[in-house]
Amino acid sequence: MKVVKTIDEVRAQVKAWRAQGLSVGLVPTMGYLHEGHASLIDASHKDNDRTVVSDFVNPMQFGPSEDLESYPRDLERDSALVKAHGGDLIFNPEPEEMYHEGFSSFVDMTILTEELCGLSRPIHFRGVCTVVSKLFNIVKPDRAYFGKKDAQQLAVIRHMVDDLNMDIEIVGCPIVREPDGLAKSSRNTYLNDEGRKAALVLSRAILAGADMVRNGEKSSKAVTDRMKQIIECEPLAKIDYVKLVDAKTMQQIPMIDRDALCAIAVYIGKTRLIDNFFTEDVK
């Protein structure tokens, strides 16, 4: 397993693999890897001959008051995890390698990015689409792996690949949870003991909403009202959103009459956490 810093090194390695007729999977990450990322690497390792993991805290997807500086980083720990899960190459560029002086081209998307997280993080998806497009152009993978925890991101990337005719299969992998239900996230490290306990309100709300859908509830309002009630019982929690949307377009729907996504974002103190369920997964 190799760690490289430059685009040229990635290209040379991938070219050598291609010359041997090998397939390549890409797992884009911002590092500080956990079992959620490990499941993406496992999936890529199973489907492809070689797996590239990008490990890059992308400044372009952070707003001015967000946690770019404090975002956790640990390349040594990440390397051990990637190696243990069968990854072959880590691409860990400096920001200047990805965004040279005078960089001025962006990949932007309307509609899907204007709902859910896009409302409180207006520049976020432009940064995600731009960096993911660059990674796709650098690695040219056969397949790329994303977690369903970032459900809107997954929908946005699928849409971008379709709109821009990118010849890459996008694979969505299930949310990985702690034993007590909290969805794994690099941002969980921001929580103190009290916050960590309070954060369980997200998975409690998700379980309750999913149960209602499983039992046949069709009204989006009934489901989201119940979930809001649960979250509001936790004094440390502040709701950003609790919404039911069309799973493809990310637009709100009054009735659950198609494949839908129920997504929540909740502040526990200053830490913003997200969680969700797809209705197709609770049938």
User: Would you please indicate which residues are annotated as catalytic (active-site) residues?
Assistant: 37
d(CA 276, CA 261): 7
Q: How far is the CB of 235 from ligand PAF (least distance, A)?
A: 30
Q: Which stretch binds ligand PAF (CB under 6 A): 28-36, 77-85, 167-175, 269-277?
A: 28-36
Number of residues that bind ligand PAF (CB under 6 A): 10
30 makes contact with ligand PAF (CB under 6 A):
yes
Pairing of strands 260-268, 237-246: antiparallel
Candidate residues 10, 13, 14, 28; the one interacting with ligand PAF per rule CB under 6 A:
28
> Among 22-30, 162-170, 209-217, 232-240, which window interacts with ligand PAF (CB under 6 A)?
22-30
Cβ 196 to ligand PAF shortest distance, Å: 21
The rounded distance, in Å, linking the Cα atoms of 27 and 175 is 15
Among 150, 151, 230, 250, binds ligand PAF (CB under 6 A): 150
29 lies in the site for ligand PAF, by CB under 6 A: yes
Site for ligand PAF in 43-62 (CB under 6 A): 58, 61
> Does the protein bind ligand PAF through residue 155 (CB under 6 A)?
no
Name the packing angle between helices 35-47 and 75-84 (round to 10°).
40
Out of 24, 129, 131, 274, name the contact with ligand PAF by CB under 6 A: 131
Q: Which two tokens stand for residue 110?
A: 């309307």
CB of 46 to ligand PAF, least distance (A): 20
Handedness of CA 251, 257, 260, 265 (dihedral sign): positive
Nearer to ligand PAF, 27 or 242 (CB): 27
Alpha helices by DSSP H, the chain? 7-19, 35-47, 75-84, 95-98, 117-120, 124-139, 151-163, 193-198, 200-214, 220-232
Say which DSSP state 66 is in.
S
Q: Please identify, among the stretches 77-85, 124-132, 225-233, 245-253, the one whose residues bind ligand PAF according to the rule CB under 6 A.
A: 124-132
| Cα–Cα distances in angstroms (integers) from residue 195 to residues 35, 141, 170, 203, 281, in the given order | 21, 39, 34, 14, 28
Q: Looking at beta carbons only, is 71 or 278 nearer to ligand PAF? A: 71
Q: Which of 3, 34, 14 is nearest to 136 (CA)?
A: 14
Catalog residues that contact ligand PAF under the rule CB under 6 A.
Answer: 28-30, 58, 61, 128, 131-132, 150, 153
